Amino acid sequence: MPNIAENIRAIRENMEQAAKSAGRAPEEILLCAATKMNDAGAVREAVAAGVDCCGENRVQELVQKLAEGAYTGRPVHFIGHLQTNKVRQVVGKVDLIESVDRTELLECIEKTAEKMDVIQPILLEVNIGAEESKSGFTKEEAAALAARMREFPHVALKGLMAIPPVSEFPGENCRYFAEMRNLFVDIKAKKYDNVSMECLSMGMSDDFTDAIAEGSTMVRIGTAIFGKRNYNT
């Protein structure tokens, strides 16, 4: 069984080293525990060990773990692909939806949030590697949508998220992370209504130190915290 607390301690040390090497303050970068396929007990261990937030990929798991109080004491984010017919189970239940990857989903979140009389914070997911197998906006689409956020008064754009292509070599994804940082900075400089660029969510277990070096403000770590997922169960 993985020692979750020890794993988190090691990840924190690597995060701190990566931040300092890049001339950044370590406290600028948040650690999000990607909790997919881990039970409430494991999530509670991660919370107790000091992760900054928890990220859930699946609506069914989110609903179950919320009922079990798994995330108590930390913000919870939705980080997976979200179907429009499940939006009502997520809006108002999570502190941040990181994976808004299409305009149809944004419009559905706005309508649902209006009915609930809440403002739902989100990130726009950018398909930075232009991969056909992945959803997400192009850089140009994300920039254009940010300029329109005043049209969505019940949604608050807090930043961007990306999952770059799987890399074969260390450092191979740095160019994608740098592109995301540039896009983030460009949108932030525009000072659009209903946009506060606070979060650049990028970097996972295999590449989070590179992401930090290139400007990530939040890394999403699953395997390095909880161990490899068993997809056969």
Q: What is the pLDDT of residues 143-184, one digit of tens each?
A: 999 999 999 999 999 999 999 998 878 788 999 999 999 999
- The strand pair at 53-56 and 30-34 is best described as parallel
| pLDDT at res. 194 | 96
- Average pLDDT value for residue range 65-75: 98
pLDDT per residue as tens digits for the range 111-121: 999 999 999 99
What predicted TM-score, i.e. pTM, was given to this entire model? 0.96
Say yes or no to pLDDT of 225 above 90. yes
Phi, psi angle pair for 46, to nearest 5°: -65, -40
Say yes or no to pLDDT of 102 above 90. yes
| pLDDT at res. 167 | 81
Contact predicate 123/158, CB 8 Å: yes
Q: Which residue has the higher pLDDT, 2 or 206?
A: 206
| pLDDT at res. 170 | 79
What average pLDDT does the structure give for the chain?
96
Measured CA to CA, the distance from residue 185 to residue 197 in angstroms comes to 8
| pLDDT at res. 233 | 53
Instruction: Band the pLDDT of 228: cuts 50, 70, 90.
Output: confident
- Average pLDDT value for residue range 55-59: 98
Closest CA to 192 of 151, 160, 139: 151
Contact predicate 201/161, CB 8 Å: yes
| pLDDT at res. 231 | 61
Instruction: Band the pLDDT of 42: cuts 50, 70, 90.
Output: very high
| pLDDT at res. 119 | 98
Contact predicate 188/197, CB 8 Å: yes
Helices within the chain (DSSP H only): 4-21, 40-48, 59-67, 103-116, 139-146, 174-190, 208-213, 223-226
Angle between helices 4-21 and 40-48 (to 10 degrees): 50
| pLDDT at res. 172 | 87
- Calculate what percentage of the chain has a pLDDT beyond 70: 98
Say yes or no to pLDDT of 232 above 80. no
117, two tokens: 């009389």
